[in-house]
Amino acid sequence: MAEDLRTRIRLPPSVKRGELVEIRVLVQHAMESGQRRDASGAIVPRKILNRLAIRYGGQDVLAARLEPAMAANPLFTFFLRAEATGMIELTWTDDDGSIQRSEHKLTVAG
Amino acid sequence: MRTRPCRDYPGPSLSRRAALAGIAVALSTRVADATPETARRLLQGFTSTTPRQGRVSLRIPEIAEDGTQVPVTIVVESPMSGADHVRALHVLADGNPNPGVVSFAFTPLAGRCEVQFRMRLAQSQRVSALAEMSDGSFWITTRDVTVTIGGCKG
Protein backbone atom coordinates (compact mmCIF):
# COMPACT_ATOMS: atom_id res chain seq x y z
CA MET A 1 0.00 0.00 0.00
CA ALA A 2 1.36 3.36 -0.94
CA GLU A 3 1.91 5.65 1.96
CA ASP A 4 1.80 9.35 1.43
CA LEU A 5 5.33 10.53 0.87
CA ARG A 6 6.22 13.72 2.60
CA THR A 7 8.29 15.61 0.09
CA ARG A 8 9.80 18.94 1.00
CA ILE A 9 11.42 21.19 -1.56
CA ARG A 10 13.48 24.32 -1.05
CA LEU A 11 13.18 26.83 -3.87
CA PRO A 12 14.12 30.50 -4.01
CA PRO A 13 10.97 32.70 -3.89
CA SER A 14 11.83 34.27 -7.23
CA VAL A 15 14.67 33.91 -9.74
CA LYS A 16 15.85 35.71 -12.85
CA ARG A 17 15.55 34.26 -16.31
CA GLY A 18 18.71 32.32 -17.18
CA GLU A 19 19.75 32.00 -13.53
CA LEU A 20 21.07 28.70 -12.22
CA VAL A 21 18.79 27.62 -9.41
CA GLU A 22 19.84 25.27 -6.63
CA ILE A 23 16.98 23.04 -5.56
CA ARG A 24 16.95 20.85 -2.48
CA VAL A 25 14.51 17.98 -2.10
CA LEU A 26 13.93 15.97 1.06
CA VAL A 27 11.60 13.00 1.25
CA GLN A 28 10.77 10.83 4.24
CA HIS A 29 11.30 7.18 3.42
CA ALA A 30 13.03 4.37 5.34
CA MET A 31 14.82 3.16 2.17
CA GLU A 32 14.84 -0.37 3.61
CA SER A 33 17.99 -1.86 2.09
CA GLY A 34 17.07 -5.54 2.29
CA GLN A 35 20.24 -6.13 4.34
CA ARG A 36 18.88 -5.37 7.78
CA ARG A 37 17.60 -7.99 10.22
CA ASP A 38 14.76 -7.59 12.67
CA ALA A 39 14.86 -8.67 16.33
CA SER A 40 14.06 -12.29 15.41
CA GLY A 41 16.93 -12.44 12.93
CA ALA A 42 14.77 -12.39 9.79
CA ILE A 43 15.84 -10.16 6.91
CA VAL A 44 13.65 -7.09 6.53
CA PRO A 45 12.62 -7.11 2.86
CA ARG A 46 13.99 -4.43 0.55
CA LYS A 47 11.67 -1.47 0.02
CA ILE A 48 13.21 1.65 -1.43
CA LEU A 49 12.35 4.51 -3.70
CA ASN A 50 14.07 3.22 -6.83
CA ARG A 51 13.53 6.17 -9.15
CA LEU A 52 13.28 9.93 -9.05
CA ALA A 53 12.36 11.93 -12.14
CA ILE A 54 12.48 15.72 -12.24
CA ARG A 55 10.73 17.74 -14.93
CA TYR A 56 10.50 21.48 -15.36
CA GLY A 57 8.00 23.15 -17.65
CA GLY A 58 7.07 19.70 -18.96
CA GLN A 59 10.64 18.78 -19.96
CA ASP A 60 13.08 16.31 -18.41
CA VAL A 61 15.85 17.81 -16.29
CA LEU A 62 17.16 14.86 -14.32
CA ALA A 63 16.30 11.25 -13.68
CA ALA A 64 17.92 9.08 -11.05
CA ARG A 65 17.92 5.33 -10.52
CA LEU A 66 18.44 4.73 -6.82
CA GLU A 67 19.98 1.62 -5.26
CA PRO A 68 19.73 0.40 -1.64
CA ALA A 69 22.98 2.26 -0.91
CA MET A 70 21.01 5.51 -0.85
CA ALA A 71 20.57 6.67 2.74
CA ALA A 72 17.21 6.77 4.50
CA ASN A 73 15.18 9.96 4.06
CA PRO A 74 16.77 10.84 0.71
CA LEU A 75 18.03 14.39 0.40
CA PHE A 76 18.96 15.60 -3.07
CA THR A 77 20.41 18.87 -4.23
CA PHE A 78 20.49 19.61 -7.94
CA PHE A 79 20.42 22.53 -10.35
CA LEU A 80 18.28 23.78 -13.18
CA ARG A 81 18.46 26.78 -15.44
CA ALA A 82 15.42 29.05 -15.00
CA GLU A 83 13.69 29.71 -18.30
CA ALA A 84 10.16 30.79 -17.46
CA THR A 85 7.70 30.56 -14.62
CA GLY A 86 6.59 26.96 -14.52
CA MET A 87 6.09 23.86 -12.50
CA ILE A 88 8.83 21.61 -11.21
CA GLU A 89 7.44 18.10 -11.12
CA LEU A 90 8.97 15.41 -8.92
CA THR A 91 8.01 11.77 -9.46
CA TRP A 92 9.11 9.05 -7.05
CA THR A 93 8.70 5.35 -7.82
CA ASP A 94 8.60 2.92 -4.89
CA ASP A 95 9.60 -0.77 -4.95
CA ASP A 96 5.94 -1.55 -4.15
CA GLY A 97 4.99 -0.07 -7.54
CA SER A 98 3.40 3.08 -6.16
CA ILE A 99 4.19 6.37 -7.84
CA GLN A 100 3.94 9.75 -6.21
CA ARG A 101 4.06 13.09 -7.97
CA SER A 102 4.34 16.54 -6.53
CA GLU A 103 4.39 19.89 -8.30
CA HIS A 104 6.15 23.03 -7.12
CA LYS A 105 5.99 26.40 -8.78
CA LEU A 106 9.17 28.18 -9.82
CA THR A 107 8.58 31.89 -10.33
CA VAL A 108 10.85 33.55 -12.89
CA ALA A 109 10.87 37.36 -12.88
CA GLY A 110 11.99 39.44 -15.85
CA MET B 1 13.11 -45.39 -5.00
CA ARG B 2 10.78 -42.44 -4.76
CA THR B 3 9.97 -42.81 -1.09
CA ARG B 4 12.42 -42.75 1.73
CA PRO B 5 11.89 -43.57 5.37
CA CYS B 6 10.79 -40.66 7.50
CA ARG B 7 13.68 -41.12 9.81
CA ASP B 8 15.94 -39.73 7.08
CA TYR B 9 14.22 -36.41 7.64
CA PRO B 10 14.55 -35.62 11.30
CA GLY B 11 12.94 -32.55 12.76
CA PRO B 12 15.16 -29.72 13.84
CA SER B 13 17.38 -31.11 16.53
CA LEU B 14 19.30 -28.99 18.94
CA SER B 15 22.48 -29.45 17.00
CA ARG B 16 20.76 -28.59 13.71
CA ARG B 17 19.25 -25.48 15.21
CA ALA B 18 22.66 -24.53 16.51
CA ALA B 19 24.07 -25.05 13.03
CA LEU B 20 21.33 -22.88 11.49
CA ALA B 21 21.98 -20.18 14.06
CA GLY B 22 25.65 -20.37 13.14
CA ILE B 23 24.79 -19.88 9.46
CA ALA B 24 22.54 -16.95 10.34
CA VAL B 25 25.37 -15.31 12.29
CA ALA B 26 27.78 -15.95 9.42
CA LEU B 27 25.34 -14.37 6.94
CA SER B 28 24.63 -11.36 9.13
CA THR B 29 28.31 -10.62 9.59
CA ARG B 30 29.06 -10.98 5.87
CA VAL B 31 28.69 -7.38 4.77
CA ALA B 32 30.91 -7.21 1.71
CA ASP B 33 29.31 -8.98 -1.23
CA ALA B 34 30.58 -6.34 -3.61
CA THR B 35 34.26 -6.53 -4.32
CA PRO B 36 36.60 -4.44 -6.44
CA GLU B 37 35.93 -7.11 -9.08
CA THR B 38 32.11 -6.78 -9.08
CA ALA B 39 32.44 -2.99 -9.02
CA ARG B 40 34.79 -3.19 -12.01
CA ARG B 41 32.30 -5.35 -13.92
CA LEU B 42 29.50 -2.89 -13.19
CA LEU B 43 31.76 -0.05 -14.36
CA GLN B 44 32.46 -1.92 -17.59
CA GLY B 45 28.71 -2.21 -18.16
CA PHE B 46 28.41 1.58 -18.00
CA THR B 47 31.32 2.37 -20.31
CA SER B 48 32.17 1.80 -23.97
CA THR B 49 35.70 3.22 -23.76
CA THR B 50 38.22 3.39 -20.95
CA PRO B 51 37.35 6.28 -18.62
CA ARG B 52 39.93 9.01 -18.18
CA GLN B 53 40.80 10.60 -14.85
CA GLY B 54 39.47 14.09 -14.24
CA ARG B 55 36.58 16.49 -14.92
CA VAL B 56 34.63 14.85 -12.08
CA SER B 57 34.92 16.32 -8.60
CA LEU B 58 33.87 13.82 -5.93
CA ARG B 59 33.62 15.32 -2.46
CA ILE B 60 33.14 12.74 0.28
CA PRO B 61 34.61 12.62 3.80
CA GLU B 62 37.92 10.75 4.08
CA ILE B 63 36.69 9.41 7.40
CA ALA B 64 32.97 8.73 7.73
CA GLU B 65 32.00 8.17 11.34
CA ASP B 66 28.44 7.14 10.49
CA GLY B 67 28.19 4.86 7.45
CA THR B 68 24.39 5.25 7.31
CA GLN B 69 24.51 8.90 6.22
CA VAL B 70 27.63 9.82 4.26
CA PRO B 71 27.28 13.16 2.47
CA VAL B 72 28.45 13.21 -1.16
CA THR B 73 28.81 16.15 -3.55
CA ILE B 74 29.67 15.57 -7.20
CA VAL B 75 30.39 18.28 -9.73
CA VAL B 76 31.22 17.52 -13.35
CA GLU B 77 32.94 20.21 -15.42
CA SER B 78 30.65 20.83 -18.36
CA PRO B 79 28.94 23.80 -20.05
CA MET B 80 25.71 21.73 -20.06
CA SER B 81 24.86 23.03 -23.54
CA GLY B 82 22.97 21.11 -26.18
CA ALA B 83 26.25 20.31 -27.95
CA ASP B 84 28.33 19.57 -24.87
CA HIS B 85 26.76 18.19 -21.72
CA VAL B 86 26.89 15.38 -19.20
CA ARG B 87 24.63 12.56 -20.25
CA ALA B 88 24.95 10.29 -17.23
CA LEU B 89 26.63 10.09 -13.86
CA HIS B 90 27.10 6.81 -12.01
CA VAL B 91 28.26 6.28 -8.44
CA LEU B 92 29.82 2.96 -7.39
CA ALA B 93 31.03 1.58 -4.07
CA ASP B 94 33.25 -1.51 -4.10
CA GLY B 95 32.68 -2.69 -0.52
CA ASN B 96 28.89 -2.53 -0.15
CA PRO B 97 26.59 -5.54 -0.54
CA ASN B 98 25.86 -4.19 -4.04
CA PRO B 99 28.31 -1.98 -5.96
CA GLY B 100 25.67 0.32 -7.51
CA VAL B 101 24.72 3.44 -5.54
CA VAL B 102 22.88 5.77 -7.90
CA SER B 103 22.79 6.61 -11.62
CA PHE B 104 21.70 10.02 -12.88
CA ALA B 105 20.64 10.99 -16.40
CA PHE B 106 20.95 14.69 -17.20
CA THR B 107 19.66 17.01 -19.87
CA PRO B 108 21.11 20.46 -20.72
CA LEU B 109 18.14 22.00 -18.83
CA ALA B 110 20.03 21.28 -15.62
CA GLY B 111 22.43 24.09 -16.53
CA ARG B 112 25.02 22.85 -14.04
CA CYS B 113 26.03 19.25 -13.38
CA GLU B 114 26.13 19.18 -9.61
CA VAL B 115 24.33 16.79 -7.28
CA GLN B 116 24.40 16.23 -3.55
CA PHE B 117 22.98 13.26 -1.69
CA ARG B 118 23.68 10.95 1.25
CA MET B 119 24.77 7.34 0.87
CA ARG B 120 25.34 4.21 2.93
CA LEU B 121 28.78 2.66 3.28
CA ALA B 122 28.91 -0.80 4.86
CA GLN B 123 32.63 -0.59 5.58
CA SER B 124 35.80 1.23 4.57
CA GLN B 125 36.01 1.14 0.80
CA ARG B 126 36.55 2.93 -2.51
CA VAL B 127 33.84 5.14 -4.01
CA SER B 128 33.90 6.13 -7.69
CA ALA B 129 31.97 8.68 -9.74
CA LEU B 130 31.82 8.07 -13.49
CA ALA B 131 30.53 10.67 -15.95
CA GLU B 132 29.45 10.00 -19.53
CA MET B 133 29.64 13.07 -21.76
CA SER B 134 27.55 13.85 -24.83
CA ASP B 135 30.68 13.37 -27.00
CA GLY B 136 30.87 9.76 -25.79
CA SER B 137 33.87 10.24 -23.52
CA PHE B 138 33.98 8.87 -19.96
CA TRP B 139 35.61 10.50 -16.95
CA ILE B 140 36.14 9.01 -13.51
CA THR B 141 37.26 10.05 -10.04
CA THR B 142 37.79 7.69 -7.13
CA ARG B 143 38.08 8.30 -3.38
CA ASP B 144 38.96 6.00 -0.48
CA VAL B 145 36.68 6.37 2.52
CA THR B 146 37.36 5.01 6.00
CA VAL B 147 34.15 4.07 7.76
CA THR B 148 34.00 3.93 11.55
CA ILE B 149 30.49 2.42 11.91
CA GLY B 150 29.09 0.54 8.90
CA GLY B 151 25.79 1.61 7.42
CA CYS B 152 23.90 -1.32 5.93
CA LYS B 153 22.38 -2.87 9.05
CA GLY B 154 20.97 0.33 10.44
Q: In the β-sheet with B56-59, what is the strand arrangement from edge to edge?
A: A7-10, A20-27, A75-81, B114-119, B70-76, B56-59
Contact partners, residue A106, CB within 8 Å, separation at least 6: A11, A15, A21, A56, A82, A85, A86, A87, A88
Q: B120–A61: do the CB atoms touch at under 8 Å? A: no
Contact partners, residue B89, CB within 8 Å, separation at least 6: B56, B74, B76, B103, B104, B106, B113, B115, B129, B130, B131, B132
Residues of chain A with Cβ-Cβ distance to B60 below 8 Å are none
pTM of the model: 0.84
Distance CA A92, CA B57 (A): 27
* Residue pLDDT tens, chain B, 154 long: 444 433 333 344 445 555 555 555 444 444 456 788 899 999 999 999 999 999 999 999 999 999 999 999 999 999 999 999 999 999 999 999 999 999 999 999 999 999 999 999 999 999 999 999 999 999 999 999 999 987 766 5
Q: B107–A59: do the CB atoms touch at under 8 Å? A: yes
* Interface-testing mutation among B60, B102, B127, B147, with chain A (most A C-beta atoms within 10 A): B102
Q: How many CB pairs under 8 A join A and B?
A: 105
ipTM, two decimals: 0.93
